[in-house]
Structure formats: structure tokens, C-alpha cells
Amino acid sequence: MHTTASPTERDLDTTRHPTTGGTASPEVAEQAARRRTFAVISHPDAGKSTLTEALALHAHAIGEAGAVHGKGNRRGVVSDWMEMERDRGISITSAVLQFAYAETVVNLLDTPGHADFSEDTYRVLAAVDAAVMLVDAAKGIEPQTHKLFEVCRARGVPVITVVNKWDRPGLDALAIMDELTTRLDLHPMPLTWPVGVAGDFRGVLDCATGDFVEFTRTPGGATEAIATRWSADEARRTVGDAFTQAEEEYDLLNASGHGFDLELFLSGAATPVLFGSAVLNFGVRQLLDTLVALAPAPSARADVSGGAREVSAPFSGFVFKIQAGMDKAHRDRLAFVRVCSGRFTRGMVVTHADTGRPFATKYAQSVFGRERATLDEAFPGDVIGLVNANALRVGDTLFAEEKVAFPRIPLFAPEHFAVARAAVSGKQKQFRRGIEQLGEEGVVQVLHSDRRGAQAPVLAAVGPMQFDVAKHRMEHEFGSPIRLEPLPYSVARAVTPDALPQLENRGGAEALTRADGVHLAVFADKWRMSSVERDLPAGALSPIFG
């Protein structure tokens, strides 16, 4: 059993307004200041899900860590709950875990661990205030790490870097600092420094105090590692050269301007750096303490008008994820809403910004991986799960009292395309419902055309593994197995309606319409696109986000 931080644990008690969300109060600002909402990002196999579980363990939200390796009697990772995730050992969908730590409410969003699911990761990064970037000690900055960091930079999300797997042979610590500088143009500011080379992890130098924190592993790494703090003099006597070398390396960095600067971190120009081993639970508590002390609390969020919604304003939030299949018994679906301002109370009636219609919130839940519990109230930074919110789509805004709309979350440009057909002719109803829902969740983009008809939609994806997820879910959740027929396209552009007729019957090109009404032109390659574009009206084609 886990212990989830309940938003009802409040320092102050004020009058509730269940139908409107109430007016702004000092309590909202106080509760927002207690929140830390962050995502964990990394290249596949850097240990992201293991770190997520280790953080929950150290906050006493769970009693024993899971394992991605499935060794001994260790169970599966809490945040990786889908059958395909457990089978393949990677994160396929984002997950939310909320727990309490040091008088703080932590909202941890685990992100997919494969480049094919970059779009889901981007949606999560729209909902957080900070990110933990996990770097494999043996591999340094990898392509997906680089790409995700650039998304953080574009969104103004400050990043804390954790060099993971220091218990295994790897790169020199100074070399990793150099990679952060040269490859990411990110100024590293170590908060801990490893004692012992990669593969001989003794503990860390606490850069703020000069102390040595020694780690002792526990059987299988299933429980918290034992941490013992020694003074520098004690460490020099007991550890010897390894500690002295760590001191010398850090002194060199500190003298060259790598000491901690809060403003540089919050601006996104610099990153605090910590060293650890998630699988052994080494350095995890140091990361939790750093998040509580340094990561920004929720703040005013920009709206579509160019203004900003203050956290103390009446309730507002936006949908960043739709997920079905979490509860096999009920086959419901959950809309994940990031609270941006005000206090949310279960049962309050809010307004759907796109339609102007009232929206009831009777079935609100808090989420911990796959597990859910009734949620009575929430504050800025928290994530609400709204059950069977069929009217909601990714990017939708909900608000109370004062109207607001937040910028929508852009879709990526797909690079893989396939025609989907029902494998069983008598399952057309299930087929249509399943395809529509997968599109609404963002599992794939769903495209249609008069030429192909409703029974042969085109599925579009950033990466081919999205098709595997779609096939698996269509068969196991919707009871309608599908056949996918790959199409020879790799480039997509938005196209104006007046250019659509000129794309008819053009070899290596096709016009399709996305579920949100956007017209797309798809091409076999960039050369074919350039050839066709010459015959289209000026400005007919434009890039899609991503």
C-alpha cells in the first residue's frame, strides 16, 4: 500500500464554494507554494522509471521499490502499469504520482522512455514547473536527452541534472560536465560530487558543506540505502585518496565559476548536478531535498491573450493527457488536468473554454500510477483525474468565474503512416469507436479522406512503436483487431483548402484531413514535396509543429 499526499491536508480552513470554486484567498497562494510539479526525462534505458520509483520510496509513498529487471521477488515498477510496458521494459505512456515529502506536496510525472513517444513527453512538459534530466554515466548526453532538453529550454522549464548509474563503469565526472557545457550550452553547477570513479561509488561530497555522505546498499536495492554523513577530516582519514580527489576536482570547478547560482538555474541557463545510482537508491534523498529547496513552485501561467493567470485567481486548469484502460473493470477513461490557479473542489461546476458549456466534476480522482482515489480538492500544481470526461480533449481549458483560455498543445509532424482496417468485418462499431478514442488520447493522429472512406482511416505517428500500441489496444481494449497497411509517406505539411484539388491523383502525395479539421498534405519524401509545391499556390504548405 502506498500513502498518497491528500490535498485535503491543509494548514488553514476556509469556507468552500463547491459550485463555483470560490474567490481567491491567501490559502491558495500558500498551498501553491507547497507544491513541486516536475517531470523526469531521459534517453531510453537511462533509469528513468527506476528513479521515479526510488523517489516515491524515499518519500515513503511506497514500502518497497520495484524493478525494471524483474530480478528475484521484486515487483514491477509502479509508474509502468501497462502490459506492453512490463513486457518490453520501457515506459510507453506518461504516469502521475503524487506524494508528500518534507511538508511539500510532490507531483511527479514520469514520461515515456522512447523517442517514438516524444509527443506524449511534450504534453507532460507543458504541465510541469521543472524537470529532472537523467544522464547515463556511461553514455553521457544522448540524442533523446538532447532533444528533450531543447523542449525544456523552449518552454522555459528549469532543469536539474542527475548523473545516474555511477555504480557502473562510465565516463569521467569532469568529462560529463564538459558535455553539458559543449553539447547543451548548459552551465553545470554540481551540488554533489562523486567519491570514487564510476563503477566504484563510495558516496558523494556535499558541495555546500564539504561533508562526505557515504552510501551502503541494501539487499537488491529494494529499500532505502543507508546514508552516513562524515566530516571532511573524517573522510580523508577513512576514505583517503578517493575523497581527496573528489575535493580537488570540485575545488577546480568551483574556482572556474561553477558554484551554485539560483537565478541562473531558474532562467534555464544553468543546471544543478547531482550524482547517484537509482537502482541502489544512492543519492535519491539528496535529489528530493534539492527539488523541495530549489525547484520553482507553481506561478502565473500565460494565457492566449498574452496575459497571465495568477495562482490565486479562481480555478483554472488545462487537459494535458487523456488515458483509457487504467481500470479494466470499468473501461473508463481519465482526463488529466493540471491545476493552474485557484482551489478545485470535487463537484464544482466549471466552464469548458472552447464551448462555453458548464462541466460537472463529480468524479474527480487523485492518481498514483495506475491506482486512483477520490479527490476532494486540489491546488495549483496538482493533477486532477476526471473520469469519463468524454467532452474533453488534450489542450482544453477549464475555468471558474473569470474566463481564461491557455494556449493549446501543438501536435508534432508525423513521419509514419498506415491505413487501418478492421480485421473482423463484424466489428465495425468497435473499430470506429476505438480509432476515434485513440486519436482523442493522442496515441496516434487519425486522418481521413473521401477517397479512402470512414472504414479505412490513416493512422499517423511520430514513431512506428505508436502503431504497436494502437494495434495492441484495439485488440485487447476494444475487441477489434486491426490490420495496418503501411503507406509510402514520410513528410507531412499543413495545406490550405484551396490547394487540395491540386493534390488529387498526384503520385507520391496525398491530401488528408486530421480529426481536428486541419488539412495535411503528405509526401513520399522532401524531394517529392518540393516538386509538387511548385505547382501549388504560394504559401499553400506550412510546417507542422515539431
Annotated binding residues for GTP: 110-114
C-alpha cell at 337: 488536468
Q: How far is Cα 546 from Cα 529, in angstroms, rounded to an integer?
A: 18
Residues making up the binding site: 110-114
Residue among 224, 179, 230, 180 nearest 203 (CA): 230
What DSSP state is assigned to residue 282?
B
Q: Enumerate the β-bridge partners of residue 302.
A: 308
Label the pairing between strands 187-190 and 270-275: parallel
Q: How far is Cα 402 from Cα 397, in angstroms, rounded to an integer?
A: 12
Taking CA atoms, 263 is separated from 149, 243, 267, 308, in Å, by 19, 30, 6, 21
- What DSSP letter does each residue of 111-139 carry, written as one string? --SSGGGHHHHHHHHTT-SEEEEEEETTT
Sole residue written with cell 470560490:
22
Residue 320, CB half-sphere, CA atoms under 13 Å: how many? Answer: 26
- What DSSP letter does each residue of 297-357 carry, written as one string? PP--EE-TTS-EE-TTSSPEEEEEEEEE-S-TTTT-EEEEEEEEES-EETT-EEEETTT--
482 neighbors 431 (Cβ within 8 angstroms): yes
What DSSP state is assigned to residue 358?
E
Print the SS3 string covering 428-495.
HHHHHHHHHHHHHHCCCEEEECCCCCCCCCEEEECCCHHHHHHHHHHHHCCCCCEEEEECCCCEEEEE
Q: How far is Cα 131 from Cα 28, in angstroms, rounded to an integer?
A: 23
What DSSP state is assigned to residue 140?
B
Contact partners, residue 455, CB within 8 Å, separation at least 6:
421, 422, 428, 431
Taking CA atoms, 401 is separated from 19, 404, 408, in Å, by 10, 9, 21
Residue 392, CB half-sphere, CA atoms under 13 Å: how many? Answer: 30
At 122, phi and psi to the nearest 5? -60, -40
Q: How far is Cα 400 from Cα 115, in angstroms, rounded to an integer?
A: 37
Q: How far is Cα 320 from Cα 312, in angstroms, rounded to an integer?
A: 21
Q: How far is Cα 16 from Cα 386, in angstroms, rounded to an integer?
A: 20
